Amino acid sequence: MFDLTRVLQTLTDALSLGSLYALIAIGYTMVYGVLRLINFAHGEIFMIAMYIVFYGISLFTLPWYVTFTVTILVTALLGTLAERLAYRPLRSAPRISILVSAIGVSYFLQNLATVIFGGRPLNFPQIPLFTDVLTFGDVYIHRLSLIVPIVTAVLLLMLVFLIKRTRTGMAMRAVARDYDAASLMGIDLNRTIAITFFIGSALAGVGAIMWGMKYTRISPTIGAMPGIKCFIAAVLGGIGNTAGAVLGGLMIGFIEIVIVALFPALSGYRDAFAFIVLIIVLLVKPTGLLGGKTTEKV
């Protein structure tokens, strides 16, 4: 039974999930671009953001716009702090050390959240302005499903502007190219990297708010799954490339939703399809869809 209604419904669901993945994937790709580091703690920073919203609205009864602003700021600072404490001291160490450190931060945050917030799942506060359901004929659309793609698009444009048109962006690109040379040219390495983490984590914060309102559940392990999916999305699109991350996120979202819609019996294997696509793409184009040529530094 694939009438027009169902097709439209499926496409909106896919677009909304894909844009969410895209938003989170950007954070991975930015950090990788600048530091050549896969920030495994990204999913956990995303998780902490959800708890901040919960406590802001449910416990301190702050209005949503205050809570959201605070959440994004605190999340951004947390990401920057992680960089300062766990990654910066290892910057001149072998690549593998900093990677292991990232995994450590990820486990640390997950366990810290379990200790502080407890293992029981909490409900994400619902804000009617975002979570009401609109109906167009027989198509039911969460307001969020429309808001998420718009937010992602706007943030992507702002980010592209920042990277291409501002001095900070120029510094980022220089550091990404070669950070020894960049620091010789007088670029403040620490500051540039901190800003990258700040922006990447802020995006994780925005993603967490959207994710929470859409899926309504918070738990200390909730960051793991989107963390992996968005990492795949970033690699699929070409890690280090912002537009690639968005493309990758959208693709993963569409594959997941469309495969399940077409073959409900295969739904238990839906993650496998995302991986199969990833493997095929990497076989054909090892740097990802939009990834540039990489020159291995010696």
Partner 1 sequence: MKKILALTLALALLCPTLGALAEASIKIGIFEPMTGATAAGGAMEKEGFDLANELYPDVLGKKIELVYGDNKSDRAEATLAAQSLVDKGVIAVLGSYASGLSMAGGEVFAEEEIPALTATATNPTVTLDCEWYARICFIDPFQGTMLARYAVKNEYKKIAIMREKDSEYAVGLVKYFQDELANHEGFEVVEVCDFMNKDEDFSALLGAVLAAQPDVIFTSVSYADKAAQIMRQARALGYEGAFFGGDTLDAPELYSIAGEAAKGAVFTTFYDAAQPATEKTSEFLDAYRSKYGKEPAASVIMAYDAYLTMRDAIERAGSTDNEAIREALFATSGFVGAAGTITLSETHDAVRPVVFKEVQADGTTIFKDMIEP
Which structure tokens are listed for 68?
A: 């959201």
Least CB distance from residue 14 to partner 1, whole Å? 8
Least CB distance from residue 98 to partner 1, whole Å? 27
Q: In this structure, are strands 133-136 and 139-142 parallel, antiparallel, or unpaired? A: antiparallel
Q: How far apart are the first and last CA of the chain?
A: 57
Q: Which is nearer to partner 1, 30 or 259 (CB)?
A: 259
Least CB distance from residue 37 to partner 1, whole Å? 25
Q: Which is nearer to partner 1, 10 or 29 (CB)?
A: 10
Rounded CA-CA distance 119/219 in Å is 7
Residue in the block written with tokens 């918070």: 218
Least CB distance from residue 106 to partner 1, whole Å? 15
C-alpha 246: how far from chain center? 10
Q: Which is nearer to partner 1, 69 or 111 (CB)?
A: 111
Task: Tell me the DSSP string of 91-125.
Answer: TTS-HHHHHHHHHHHHHHHHHHHHHHH-SS-EEPP
Residue in the block written with tokens 């993945």: 21
Least CB distance from residue 233 to partner 1, whole Å? 14
Q: Which is nearer to partner 1, 85 or 133 (CB)?
A: 133
Q: Which of 191, 192, 230 is nearest to 47 (CA)?
A: 230
> What values do phi and psi take at 126, rounded to 5?
-100, 130
- Evaluate whether 72 touches 205 at the Cβ level (below 8 Å): yes
Least CB distance from residue 225 to partner 1, whole Å? 5
Q: Fill in the amino acid letter for 24.
A: I
Q: Which is nearer to partner 1, 223 or 244 (CB)?
A: 223
148: which residues sit within 8 A by CB, 6+ positions away?
A: 16, 19, 20, 23, 210, 214
The residues binding partner 1 (CB under 8 A) are: 1, 6, 9-10, 13-14, 17, 114, 118-123, 126, 133, 135, 138, 140, 142, 211, 214-217, 219-222, 224-226, 256-261, 264-265, 267-268, 271
Q: Which is nearer to partner 1, 245 or 260 (CB)?
A: 260
Least CB distance from residue 283 to partner 1, whole Å? 26
Q: Which is nearer to partner 1, 216 or 287 (CB)?
A: 216
For 164-175, letters b (16+ CB in 10 Å) and e give eeeeebebbebb
Least CB distance from residue 184 to partner 1, whole Å? 46
Q: Which is nearer to partner 1, 55 or 168 (CB)?
A: 55
- Evaluate whether 237 touches 154 at the Cβ level (below 8 Å): no
